[in-house]
A and B are shown apart, each in its own frame.
Chain A
Amino acid sequence: MALVAMTLVMASPSQAVQPDEILSDQALELRARTLSRELRCMVCQNQSIDDSDAPLARDLRLLVRERLKAGDSDAQVLDFLSARYGQFVLLKPHFGWDTALLWFAPVAVLLLGGIALVRLLRHRRRIESPDEQPLSEAEHGRLAGLLREGEISAPTFTERPKSR
């Protein structure tokens, strides 16, 4: 199902995060793990460096920890890596002109869909409203006559009136 970088499994049957990589400072290690999940292992198929077995991913994990130990903030670490390896390394793409469409797509679909729906509902109500006009005097009389004769009973399932 998921991304399996087959070749990598074959090349190095090692593991993601190795015991010797873990920092003794727990808070720092936690930040390193969180950051690792946002960074792509560039030789793998859509895998974060946290998950990847590749030697490159290990190098990047160590690099992230080095930067953190040197006192970088999370944003600085991400900037450092994207400056070095390009935007490709970020699993959550930056926000800019080139990615505006990507980031706005969900909201745009929701808004456009919503607007279209509201317009449609209003429009249809306007069209159908003549149906809802009260019956005229003559119609009332005819209806009463019909009901008295018992020719028609209450509307059946299939003949349910189309509008309220």
Chain B
Amino acid sequence: MIAEIGHYALVLALGLAVIQSVVPMVGARLRDDTLMGVAGPTALAQFAFVAVAFAALTACYVASDFSVANVFENSHSAMPLVYKFTSVWGNHEGSMLLWVLILSLFGALVAWFGGNLPATLKANVLAVQAWIAAAFYLFILMTSNPFLRVPQAPFEGRDLNPILQDLGLAIHPPLLYVGYVGFSISFSFAIAALIEGRIDAAWARWVRPWTLAAWMFLTVGIAMGSYWAYYELGWGGFWFWDPVENASLMPWIAGTALLHSAVVMEKRNALKVWTILLAILTFSLSLVGTFLVRSGVLTSVHTFASDPSRGVFILMILTLFIGGGLALYAWRAPALKQGGLFAPISREGALVFNNLFLTAACATVFTGTLYPLALEALTGEKISVGAPFFNLTFGPLFIPLLLVVPLGPLMPWKRGDLLGVAQRLIGAAGFALVVVAATFAMTGGGPVLAPFGVGLAAFVMAGAVTDLVERSGLMRLPLGTALTRARGLPRSAFGTMIAHFGLGVSLLGIVCASTWGTEQIVAMKAGATVSLRSYDLTFDGMVTRQGSNYRELIAKFTVRQGGEVIGIMEPSKRTFPSRQSSTTEAALLTRGASQLYLSLGDPNDDGSIAIRLYYKPLVLLIWLGAVVMFLGGGLSLSDRRLRIGAPKPAKAGKPTLQPAE
């Protein structure tokens, strides 16, 4: 019964989406308030019905109702409760349901908070949002229905893929989807603007919070996935340039570009046509990502099931929205009025530079991911494009970008003075050079480029601090004045500074962990000791333990530094009888931001076991940086001007003060 309620709710949501995709748009054309007014309530009701559907599926999982095919295939009665919740989206059908849940949530949020939007824009945005929703409801109902029953209910379920039975992976998809789907709002705003043929700085101000929120969640979502891969896959890598990873990286890069070009549009009314295109492209890349992962074109842990009919359906959605969006753009964009002139050396110029390099980086990932597929389809030739290719092409594109990060915020709008900005950055640059020299001195003859990488990270971080110091006048003015000025700065200024700082933190982690990591691969018997850096690990022996739905073989290690015990590490191997499969659980010992990483190999006949021990210097900074970026975004999101919305015309007599920036 519960499954049927969920199914029915989803059908109702589809019906509402169809209404919402037509009526408000007709209303906007006719300037009819009643018709336009349909958009808001339908968007809210749509969300309510999808929420009911999602809750129904969750209830089936929690109750272990194996008469529902989806639950039978992906759950087990002995599984811990938390994984019963998370396995709702640990499969194709359920994850698509999560996708539309978030999509309808965003639609509802626009309806709820969009009070300050012009009526026609709001109606059009919600209508476009409903087109997307309707397409995906149809996709779920026709090809991926999670509510189908099995004729005779089995006694036990088949269990969730053991590798997905992990908290990190459990929260990774929702975060990522909030990011992916959040960009649909930017897309809807762009399409609505093209339909209306009107776009201005206020438009950018309305779009920016949504883009920013989506970007924040995508950032932590990617970081979460990367951290999961690091500790779960057992070889200590944090980024593999896997097509599925790339699928999430592309919208992130495009979204980052969009975030920056929207600033130019909001402040200077320039780059309008480009911003619209970026908004369309960013969501298109989200759709491409969904297609790559869900269609079975690629196979990996994410592609839960490959079914050609699904692939074809998603391809149709893709063609419709990307093709349609770009066609509308080609038709309407030339009519948009350009505004805001600027010199090449200016804040705008720096942000254009940012966009150019981000676009090139995104194109690199795009061709690298899709080229092998295209080449094979066209010529039958099979090639691989992996990490060595991306490191060689993507890296060099990001270096100039990172070098300009500290310059941009210090640059004045319209026309800047490169020399003046460079002078203000002398402190940061000097600091970076000292760091480079110190790194050389400390590491001796390692890779030559790595210390410069550390220096670049230091420059980005010091540059962010310089930005704040300059704006508040900390070094020039008396302390009290500087503090007052700092307090008066808009939160978005702090947000920018913190996010840029986080970028430097991540970079530092990436450079250090990938350059100066060391490893030991040995076979050990109980009682033996292995040493890495200043750490000595003694293998105390193996024990077995019974988990809720798995058996675990644990190796106990005592870690000593200078003779003193600093911790215990217990890497293990888990065997899941229900799926006849096993996972390797690495043990991590955190020392500051660095980690010792220990994972188990095979036991040998002579009683020894192969182990892989890594020392990963500053590896935690990679993900910490992403969290800092998230916080920066959040601070910027709480900025007054984004909460209040569009600038209102100045009231007579008392001009409204805008924070100077």
Contact = CB atoms under 8 A, between A and B. Distances in A.
A47 to B, nearest CB: 8
Given A1-B229, A92-B389, A93-B389, A109 B360 contact: yes
B367 A101 contact: yes
Contact of B363 (A48, A90, A106, A121): A106
B244 to A, nearest CB: 7
9 contacts: A1-B245, A2-B242, A2-B300, A3-B300, A13-B602, A38-B386, A40-B384, A105-B363, A113-B356
The 6 closest A-B pairs by CB, nearest first: A1-B225, A91-B386, A15-B601, A92-B388, A2-B229, A3-B242
Contacts of B359: 109, 113
Contact of A40 (B237, B244, B386, B602): B386
B338 interface: yes
B382 to A, nearest CB: 4
A163 interface: yes
Interface string B357-399: 1011101100110010001000101111111110011100100
A99 B371 CA distance: 9
A28 interface: no
A16 interface: yes
Residue in B240, B364, B375, B392 with the greatest tally of chain A CB atoms within 10 Å: B240
B387 A124 contact: no
Interface in A28-64: 37-38, 40, 45-48, 51
Given A1-B228, A110-B360, A162-B341, A89 B601 contact: no
Given A2-B242, A4-B301, A157-B650, A19 B521 contact: yes
B163 A164 contact: no
Contact of B384 (A18, A89, A113, A114): A89
A146 interface: no
A164 B341 contact: yes
Given A18-B610, A19-B522, A102-B385, A92 B392 contact: yes
B384 A98 contact: no
Nearest to A91: B386
A45 to B, nearest CB: 5
Contact of B300 (A45, A90, A91): A45
A21 to B, nearest CB: 9
B521 A22 contact: yes
Contacts of A16: 235, 612
Contacts of B375: 98-99
B610 A15 contact: yes
Given A10-B581, A98-B383, 20 more contacts: A2-B225, A4-B163, A4-B233, A6-B161, A9-B581, A18-B601, A18-B610, A40-B384, A45-B242, A51-B240, A87-B382, A92-B386, A98-B375, A102-B389, A105-B364, A106-B360, A106-B361, A109-B359, A109-B364, A110-B356
B245 A18 contact: no
Contacts of B15: none
A6 to B, nearest CB: 6
A37 B234 contact: no
B199 to A, nearest CB: 16
B344 interface: yes
Contacts of A18: 521, 601-602, 610
B339 A162 contact: yes
Given A90-B383, A92-B388, A10 B580 contact: yes
A109 B239 CA distance: 24
Contact of A91 (B233, B363, B388, B397): B388
Given A87-B383, A101-B371, A9 B356 contact: no
Contacts of A103: 393
Contacts of B338: 124
Contacts of B241: 46
B241 to A, nearest CB: 8
Interface string B599-641: 1111000000010100000000000000000000000000000
Given A15-B602, A37-B387, A110-B356, A45 B299 contact: yes
Given A99-B383, A109-B360, A15 B244 contact: no
B341 A163 contact: yes
A158 B245 contact: no
